[in-house]
Amino acid sequence: MHNFNSGPSILPRDVLLEAAEAIYNFNNIGLSILEIGHRTEWFKNVIDESRLLVKELLNLDDQFEVLFLHGGATTQFMQVPMNFLSPGKNAAYCVNGIWGKKAITEAKLFGNVNTACSSADQNFTYIPKNLEIPAGSVYLHITSNNTVEGTQWQELPQTNVPLVADMSSDIFSRKRDFAACSLIYAGAQKNAGIAGTTIVIIRKDFLKNKNENVPAILDYQNHILADSLLNTPPVFAIYVSLLTLQWIKKEGGIDEMEKRSLERADFFYDALDRLPLFVPIVKKEDRSRMNAVFTIDDKKLEKKFLDVCSENGLIGIKGHRSIGGLRVSMYNALPMESLELLVKIMEQFSQQYTS
């Protein structure tokens, strides 16, 4: 099987094997990772190393705190404004796809929200370059990579207000000035592990702006003071994140992940652009290295192409239910061999059905 799923997505084989072993016998202690206590020294070592590896891989210093939380990135749509936005305050949001739309909807429950930019006028097929950020905004929120629509911020926007970034689908895949962000959050199930935990990275000085009356379990400061152990954490999901972060480091870190990402994206988009049967959707300069979206004009042929993919063990290529079409996700663990087979099938299919 060749796994192009957008999330939960492909994991490195080494990670799968080690995680499978830990389900039976974690670190040869005679217990499963699924049954150890979250306040034991065994698990404390797991979460401490995970937090340190996040900072090491992203080149962050002690100005930042790292949390592993429940709830997925979707919970962060609510938790960020609950902690930092309130009536009378303003925040700015970039709306470049479905996740930006969902995030701004949640934020409006807590305070005034302004749209800094939107690509809705062209069905979210590009990233706007000019932002309008009202003075005094408590933060600017972006989605660095739009998994559904296949667009990506190639550079983080320059802003004089704190930057909050949902990096769920491209964290650990490319070099960025991560320290330019005041808060980063990312669901783990794309490049950082499995579904069940969300990485949250917060600059300490940003916490000075935090609201006081926040429910205990949703207060970032409480989780920081408890070292992400305020309540029982998703132990297994955090362990798989640790294995994934160890794998990234062993393979060469973010530099190597970006090199491979560029190779995969260049290889695939070259094929997409030269095969007339397949129609790319996103403006070239804003194409995602993680999620390539495209269509076939004849929907019957599109269905036939998906059937051919399935017959050849290529899964996860059907587009998101909200927009349809086709999508190829190219996360860190995807081997080039999978893309080579996909492109070969695309070439054969295009030759067969292009008149």
Which helix (DSSP H) or strand (DSSP E) does residue 131 occupy? none
Burial level of 166, CB count in 10 A (0-12/13-18/19+)?
Answer: buried
Q: Which of 99, 219, 286, 318 is catalytic?
A: 99
Catalytic annotation present for 44:
no
Q: How far, in Å, CA of 170 to CA of 329, rounded?
A: 11
Catalytic annotation present for 249:
no
Q: Which of 166, 170, 219, 286 is catalytic?
A: 166
How many other C-beta atoms are found inside a 10 Å radius of the C-beta of residue 265?
A: 19
Q: Which of 89, 153, 170, 190 is catalytic?
A: 190
Cross-sheet strand order for the sheet of 291-296: 278-280, 291-296, 326-329
Report whether 177 contacts 226 (CB < 8 A): no
Report whether 80 contacts 186 (CB < 8 A): no
From 341, 20, 57, 235, select the one nearest 11 (Cα to Cα): 20
Q: Which amino acid, residue 2?
A: H
Catalytic annotation present for 205:
no
Strand partners, 3: 315
Q: How far, in Å, CA of 17 to CA of 20, rounded?
A: 5
Task: Show which residues are catalytic.
Answer: 99, 166, 190
